Amino acid sequence: MGYFTMRSFGQQPVTASFVATLGTDTVIVETYNLLPNHLYGKAFLRYPRDQVGVFDFHFYPDGSIKHYTMSYMNPDSSYKTTGFIEGVYCENDTCTWFASSQNWQTEYINKRSAKNMDFIGGWTPTLSLIEWNCMRLMKSGKQSMPITMINNYVGIRNVAVSKGNGDTLVFGGDFLEYAKIKATPEGRIVTYDGTATPWNYIVTKLAPINVDELAKRMSKKTKIGIPSPKAVLSFAIAKDTIRLSYGRPFKRGRKIFGGIVPYDSVWRTGANDLTKLNLPYDVQFGEIKIPKGEYGLYTIPRVDGWTLIFNTDFKQWPTEPNRSKDFAMIPLQVRNATQSADQFTITIDPAKNGGIIKFTWDETEAYAPFRVIRKN
């Protein structure tokens, strides 16, 4: 594929900033410097906690990552570390993830078998690394370029950056969904629309911003914390307990259904990890019987009615469910919620001979009654 330095791009070194918003909240402010075969900078990251990430990438001649580090600093003091550093180095068809913390006795090491690595996943992506890969695509002259993403939590994933219509590039894959990027002919990002992706950001490019000064100001504001906190709940139904765990995203001023949750597509029905339901007994929705046990829950929202999916696979990341493991598909009725819900909520209310499962967010509520089947 050739050499992918700034000189081969025909560009001078670049310094610029990206600002990412999640609905009404600013969640990332990143200032980066792009030199020949080298990318470094700082980013003010607002979740899972306020911190400044100091990042450094060094690339192989083909543009893949040779070495990466991220050191986390306190937002109110650019020289005071939070006591955590992570990174990856790739050599001999192996990418080694490492991390150290002031609370750990030893360094964490995790080796992944991979011939190359092009992108880092995680809570908050390095936005300038997306731009680096967009520039690689435009330099290659190809329609699409595969990207190997490695994340310590979800492992190795294959995504891509591709040319769309006009000046639009598309970044992502089945795991990430697809972000739409408006870019210059050289692949420089102008705007990034991640609506309906796990990184549900709108990103714009600005002149360089002093991240240290901005972090000191913004860290005094209300914290964001975990954007979709996990709920672990128990519902007393028919003299036993149904258990549920799921991530609860907030609206944050966004359009929900038909927006960040597309219609007519499988939705993970929450955020982060798989939504799990544990039944202590058999239940029946209409004519469909669900045996006791644990299930992953997915839904397909539609304007005139939803579908609830009971799935038996717990290995796949929920943005790419294993549909061959679907056990049952249950129709859900839809109505206007009696009260608007800023945070996604699943409830199971008791009813005669069973209960009613409800999914509520924004102005929408989807629901279905079920009855409990007790074996003699």
C-alpha span between 344 and 361 (Å, rounded): 5
81-91 and 282-285 strand pairing: unpaired
**In a domain? residue 319:** yes
| 38 and 90 co-located in one domain | yes
Q: Establish if 211 belongs to a structural domain.
A: yes
Q: Which residue in the block uniquely carries the two structure tokens 């950001």?
A: 201
* Residues 5-47 pLDDT 10s: 555 554 567 899 999 999 889 999 999 999 888 999 999 999 8
Same domain? 345 vs 325 = yes
Do 44 and 188 lie in one domain? The reply is yes
Residue from 362, 366, 176 nearest 254 by CA: 362
State how far Cα 350 lies from the chain centre: 34
Helix and strand element counts for the chain (H, E): 3, 24
Domain that holds residue 49: 6-218
Question: Is 186 found in the same domain as 281?
Answer: no
Asked if 189 and 317 sit in the same domain, the reply is no
Residue in this structure with the two tokens 């046990």, named with its chain if needed = 293
- Co-location of 10 and 149 in the same domain: yes
Question: Phi and psi of 325, rounded to 5°?
Answer: -100, 10
Q: Is a pLDDT exceeding 50 seen at residue 194?
A: yes
Cis geometry, peptide bond prior to residue 48 (ω within 30 degrees of 0): yes
Do the domain assignments include residue 200? yes
According to DSSP H, which parts of 32-186 are helical?
A: 127-140
> Is 23 found in the same domain as 168?
yes
Task: Name the domain boundary from 218, 245, 279.
Answer: 218
26 belongs to a structural domain: yes
Q: Is 80 exceeded by the pLDDT of residue 78? A: no
Contact status, residue 211 vs residue 30, Cβ threshold 8 Å? yes
Residue at token pair 């709920």? 231
pLDDT at 62 over 90: yes
283 forms beta bridges with 290, 372
Question: Are 133 and 74 in the same domain?
Answer: yes
Q: Is 192 helix (H, G, I), strand (E, B) or coil?
A: strand
213 and 235 within one domain: no
Identify whether 70 is part of a domain. yes
Identity (one letter) of the amino acid at 359? F
| 224 lies in some domain | no
Query: Structural domain tally of the chain?
Result: 2
- Least trusted range by pLDDT, from 13-17, 79-83, 198-202: 79-83
Q: Which of 57, 31, 28 is nearest to 42 (CA)?
A: 31
Residue (of 19, 44, 10) closest to 216 by Cα position: 44
Is 278 found in the same domain as 156?
Answer: no
Determine phi and psi for 356, rounding to 5 degrees.
-130, 125
| Backbone φ and ψ of 7, nearest 5° | -65, -40
CA atoms of 111 and 146, how far apart (whole Å)? 21
At residue 167, φ and ψ (nearest 5 deg) are -95, 20
Q: Has residue 150 got a pLDDT over 50? A: yes
**Tens-place pLDDT, residues 279-338:** 999 999 999 999 999 999 999 999 999 999 999 999 888 888 999 999 999 999 999 999
The letter for the amino acid at 375 is: K
Helix, strand, coil percentages for the chain (3-state, nearest 5)? 10, 55, 40
Of 218, 238, 262, the residue at which a domain comes to its end is: 218
Last-in-domain residue among 163, 196, 218? 218
